[in-house]
Amino acid sequence: MESTDLKTICYSALEDRKAQDILILDIKDISDFAHWFIIATASSSTNAKAISNRLLESINLSNYHVLGIEGQDDSEWILVDCGDVVVNIMQQDAREFYDLESLWGEKTLISA
């Protein structure tokens, strides 16, 4: 399976649990650690945990592997590293503060 398939699986899982403002960034030409960088907003810590749990379930059911997870205890920013796809689930305050979209630049944005 290709990284574009994994990207689609991740996007669907985020939508399924009502993640907001989902952005997909194509970083394969400017990054050596991933092809796709996904950023989504969770409405609360409970919502962030539900989104990440659904994401992990979808990834495992699709026979992909998660390399690492950070932030599940705090839930302000949960990062799920799937190798070619890195998913960031952030509460609104954290998303505004870290402004990850600006770090990568407009040219990487492929989905809003």
CATH number where 99 lies: 3.30.460.10
User: Which string of b and e fits 100-110 if b means at least 16 CB within 10 Å?
Assistant: ebeebeeebee
> CA-to-CA distance for 39 and 9, rounded, in angstroms?
14
- The vertex-13 CA angle with 92 and 88, nearest 5°, equals 40
Taking only the tens place, the pLDDT of each residue in 91-109 is 999 999 999 988 876 665 5
Give the HSE-up count for residue 41: Cα atoms under 13 Å, Cβ half-sphere. 14
> CA-to-CA distance for 110 and 112, rounded, in angstroms?
7
Confidence of residue 112 (pLDDT cuts 50, 70, 90): very low
Please give the pLDDT value at position 103. Answer: 81
Q: For the chain, what is the domain count?
A: 1
- The one-letter amino acid code at 46 reads T
Please give the pLDDT value at position 28. Answer: 83
Confidence of residue 89 (pLDDT cuts 50, 70, 90): very high
Taking only the tens place, the pLDDT of each residue in 29-79 is 888 888 999 999 999 999 999 999 999 999 999 999 999 999 988 879 999
Please give the pLDDT value at position 32. Answer: 82
Domain span at residue 35 reads: 3-111
pTM above 0.75, yes or no: yes
